[in-house]
Structure 1
Amino acid sequence: MSEKTENKLLTDVFVDGARKGWNIAIYNTVPNVLMAFVIIYILNVSGALKIIGDYLGFIMLPLGLPGESIAVFMAAFLSWGGSAGVLVALVQNGTLNATDIAVLIPGMALVGSTVQYMGRVLGVLGVPGRHYGVLFGICILNAYLAMLVMSMIV
């Protein structure tokens, strides 16, 4: 530990951490969640959410979920916070219930922000782009299997 760190008071460390946490919430998490609410509202009002649910709903059917729930799963690839916003918006409009949430949470966790993290990690490691599809596929399969198991439990 450096001398500067050793001389910091516990309250200073706490305040610094709280300030960093506040900034992450305000500048990263809240905008993602707000964006998700707006997108779901627009999709819902325009009828596009229903169309997405009708055409892609067969994917969620074995999980006992409504077709519109695929929006939560798709949003999770881009942003964990955004998918949470989509989830809450669908709960608010009556599309999802508590059981649906319990089934979706493992999938959200396993694909949460995949696009962001894969781009950062795989790009830095120099993994060829041709392997990304397989890696995304494994991620999707793991998440789907976790949601399938959860649907059997609840």
Structure 2
Amino acid sequence: MSEQIKEKKLITDIFVEGARKGWNIAVHSTIPNVLMAFVIIYILNASGLLKLLGEYVGFIMTPLGLPGESIAVFLAAFLSWGGAAGVLVALVQEGTLNAQHIAILLPGMALVGSTVQYMGRILGVLGVPGRHYPVLFGICIVNAYLAMFVMQFLV
């Protein structure tokens, strides 16, 4: 009989391996997304497009007690959670958003977070037909909006 000998890893080796994986995720995914968000918000601010976005599309956010510019956070959340966090922080730094706004936005960010990324990673791999994507995205949007609507009464 052949016995399989399982190699026991030291706790320090497991920690170092996890730290390396975490570092790679941060360097190759999170930091670039957040940096991209800061750059986009800076460009939108400098060009005046963020103000226009808030005026012409922001009406969607006003029933939630949010300024129109907060739509940028919600839209960024579709692409990347890290990017949305970057947009959120940038808008807080410029004084557009406050703590109450953040509390309202977070459930919405969580419910639509990285939807576009997951479309390819999950729905595409599972072979879900493209005709179902609008319904699936719609469910995410409605859930997120309802969660933010409820949250405005809780904060």
Q: Structure 2-normalised TM-score?
A: 0.95
Q: Which amino acid aligns with 2:51?
A: K
Partner of 2:134: 133
Number of residue pairs matched by the alignment: 152
Q: For the pair shown, which has the larger CA radius of gyration, 1 or 2?
A: 2
Q: Over residues 12-41 of structure 1, what are the superposed CA-to-partner deviations in whole Å (9 max), with x where a residue is unaligned?
A: 110110111011111110000000000000
Shift of 1:3: 4.0
Cα distance in 2 for partners of 1:103, 1:79 equals 18
Q: Which has the higher helix share?
A: 1
Shift of 1:7: 2.2
Unmatched runs of 5 consecutive residues or more in structure 1: none
Which portions of structure 1, spanning 4 or more consecutive aligned residues, are displaced by more than 3 angstroms?
none
The Cα RMSD (Å) is 1.0
Cα distance in 2 for partners of 1:15, 1:39 equals 35
Partner of 1:17: 18
Unmatched runs of 5 consecutive residues or more in structure 2: none
Identity of paired residues, percent?
Answer: 80
Cα distance in 1 for partners of 2:123, 2:154 equals 34
Partner of 1:96: 97
Which residues in structure 2 correspond to 1:5-44 (within 5 Å)?
6-44=7-45
Q: Which amino acid aligns with 1:77?
A: F
Q: Give SS of 2:61's match.
A: helix
Q: Which range moves more in the overlay, 29-38 or 121-130?
A: 121-130
Shift of 1:127: 1.2
Cα distance in 2 for partners of 1:153, 1:46 equals 35
Q: Structure 1-normalised TM-score?
A: 0.96
